[in-house]
Structure 1
Amino acid sequence: MILTAAHHASAAGNEAPTGGIAGWATDMMDSLGAPGAGLAIALENLFPPLPSEVILPLAGFAASQGKFGVVEALLWTTAGSVIGALALYAIGALLGRERTVAIAARLPLVKASDIQRTEEWFARHGTKAVFFGRMIPIFRSMISVPAGVERMRLPVFLALTTAGSLIWNAAFILIGHALGARWHQVTDLVGLYSKGVIAVVVLAVLAFVALRIRRARKGEHRSAR
């Protein structure tokens, strides 16, 4: 979620940014209007490196320039969020539990008990995970896959995804609309939040790997006695 100096320079005036992700999203909105913002968000769900933290404030900025209405932006981006989430849900459903377990079993340091615990956790907290996950970078896209694998009831999944996406999208679009040409300020701030989430995930993965290696070494030591 790093914007180049050129992006900031163009955003400082009334001109839309050019180049990079911001320029790409702007071109989509210029060509297609509010549906372009929706398409960009649908692609963001499928390709998480495309940051909604850039696209959504830009949609608010475009609305402030009269390119389309705020309500249009909100409806189309939420529709894009739901469509993208549905595509990932379908991938999870097609993958299914048996294939997921088989793939996980081939991964180093992953045990069958890990899959079972994950399933039990999702059974207890899946609805909260789908709803609040829409507001967390990385997880906002990925949470749809386990929902599909576990075959969460589609009406429930759609309702939770729509509600969570609506809140997330509305916050950024309205802030972008209020800031106008200074829309990038919210992107810079949320970039810190995203980096914090990524850092926590990396630390959790490293801790998991370190714990598994330690347990494996202890098991080898005991069997050697």
Structure 2
Amino acid sequence: METGLHWIEQYGYGGLFILLMLGVLGLPVSDETLLVFAGYLSAKGTLRIEPAFIAAFLGSVAGISLSYAIGRFVGLPAIEKFGHLIHMKPEHLTASRRWVERWGKYSLLVAYFIPGIRHLAALLFGAAKLSPGVFARFAYAGALVWSASFIGLGYAAGEEWTKFSPLIHRTLTVVVLLMLFALSITLSVCLIRRVNR
């Protein structure tokens, strides 16, 4: 992790872009910590917040787009066969598949907030041949919210960012899951009302 933080300090926006692209693609990079650190560097004046956010957003978009392309053009059997190369265990793929089947394209909005799901959702949607336009609309909106959330938290935390970094991730994951639960209840109620009319 120290290497990633050093990369951002040394290479700035380019380092942030590359690391997030590789992290979202599935390499072992602590994405949230990098985003919080970029927010901290922006608060400190080492980076400017607007270009840091743009680099983070574009890196996330590039990573998830590459994952989608791999899934679309390589296919699920190859992913299952060679998944160990990106530290993908069969149980991760099974959990991600259940998540995607349950939430559909909407899972792309929140997949970034859940490690493991983030790395595999795009592969699964690519293998399922979800249209590129639908994929982009939902995945890129998720990238926007995810990048802005963690950079904003790092910016707000300032010098305290190291204390809050692990807590931030756990808290946001719980909040996102609660929001999904509330959304599923709301959608179920709306569907029941429509059927009863």
Q: Calculate the TM-score normalised by the size of structure 1.
A: 0.62
SS of alignment partner, residue 67 of structure 1: coil
For residues 190 and 31 of structure 1, the distance between their equivalents in structure 2, rounded to whole angstroms, comes to 25
Instruction: Calculate percent identity across the aligned residue pairs.
Output: 25
For residues 95 and 194 of structure 1, the distance between their equivalents in structure 2, rounded to whole angstroms, comes to 33
- Structure 2 residues without counterparts, runs of 5 or longer: 82-93, 175-197
Which residue of the other structure, out of 145, 153, 167, is the alignment partner of 2:131?
A: 153
Q: Does 1:28 align with 2:7?
A: yes
Q: CA deviation at 1:80?
A: 0.5
Q: CA deviation at 1:186?
A: 2.6
Q: What residue is the counterpart of 2:187 in the other structure?
A: none
| Distance verdict in 2 for CA 1:150–1:31, change over 3 Å | same
Q: What residue is the counterpart of 1:170 in the other structure?
A: 148
Which residue of the other structure, out of 95, 104, 108, is the alignment partner of 1:126?
A: 104
SS of alignment partner, residue 134 of structure 1: helix
Q: CA deviation at 1:58?
A: 0.3
Q: Does 1:85 align with 2:43?
A: no
Q: Does 1:144 align with 2:122?
A: yes
For residues 80 and 52 of structure 2, the distance between their equivalents in structure 1, rounded to whole angstroms, comes to 42
Q: What residue is the counterpart of 1:71 in the other structure?
A: 50
For residues 26 and 102 of structure 1, the distance between their equivalents in structure 2, rounded to whole angstroms, comes to 32
Q: Structure 2 matches for 1:1-225, cutoff 5 A?
A: 21=1, 23-96=2-75, 99=77, 122=101, 125-190=103-168, 192=170
Stretch moving more, 177-186 or 69-78: 177-186
SS of alignment partner, residue 33 of structure 1: helix
8 Å Cα contact 1:48-1:138 kept in structure 2 = no
Deviations 1:51-78 (A, max 9, x none): 2121011000111121221111111111
Q: Which has the higher helix share?
A: 2
For residues 102 and 55 of structure 1, the distance between their equivalents in structure 2, rounded to whole angstroms, comes to 29
8 Å Cα contact 2:113-2:172 kept in structure 1 = no
Stretches of 4+ aligned residues off by more than 3 angstroms: 99-103, 190-196
For residues 79 and 30 of structure 2, the distance between their equivalents in structure 1, rounded to whole angstroms, comes to 30
- Structure 1 residues without counterparts, runs of 5 or longer: 1-20, 104-113, 197-225
For residues 157 and 31 of structure 1, the distance between their equivalents in structure 2, rounded to whole angstroms, comes to 33
Q: Calculate the TM-score normalised by the size of structure 2.
A: 0.70
SS of alignment partner, residue 152 of structure 1: coil
Q: CA deviation at 1:178?
A: 1.4
RMSD: 2.9
Give the counterpart letter for 1:149 in structure 2: A
Structure having the higher Rg: 1
